[in-house]
Amino acid sequence: MDIARHVFVSGLVQGVAFRYHARERARELGVAGWVRNLPDGRVEARFEGPPERVEAFLAWLRQGPRAALVTECEVRERAPTGDEAFRIVS
């Protein structure tokens, strides 16, 4: 049974290819959903999949790519919506 999470990532997370790395990591893990930059400098992501894959992606988001500096990761539980791919949205 799939689970879903809605996450807001704060810190140095824009201008460091965070969304592109997130998309690649999500695809590697087989997690579906989306990621986007917010006007306030945070990155927002919503994703779903098997619990172990969602948790692995969440662990990655808490670190981010090498150039990022994540200071906070606010996580909310959500109901899965049936997304089948992971994409960058605007």
Question: Among the options 19, 23, 42, 46, which is catalytic?
Answer: 19
- CA distances to 39, 49, 88, 89 from 42, rounded to whole Å, are 7, 23, 14, 14
What is the distance, to the nearest Å, from the Cα of residue 83 to the centroid of all Cα atoms in its chain? 14
pLDDT at 32: 98
User: What's the pTM?
Assistant: 0.96
Mean pLDDT of the chain: 97
Share of the chain above pLDDT 90, in %: 99
Question: Among the options 36, 37, 78, 87, which is catalytic?
Answer: 37
Whether 87 is catalytic is no
Which residue segments constitute the domains of the chain, with CATH numbers given?
3-88 (3.30.70.100)
Q: What is the mean pLDDT of residues 53-67?
A: 97
Cβ atoms of 34 and 46 within 8 Å: the answer is: yes
Give residue-wise pLDDT tens across range 13-40: 999 999 999 999 999 999 999 999 999 9
pLDDT at 89: 97
Strand partners, 10: 72
| DSSP, res 82 | -
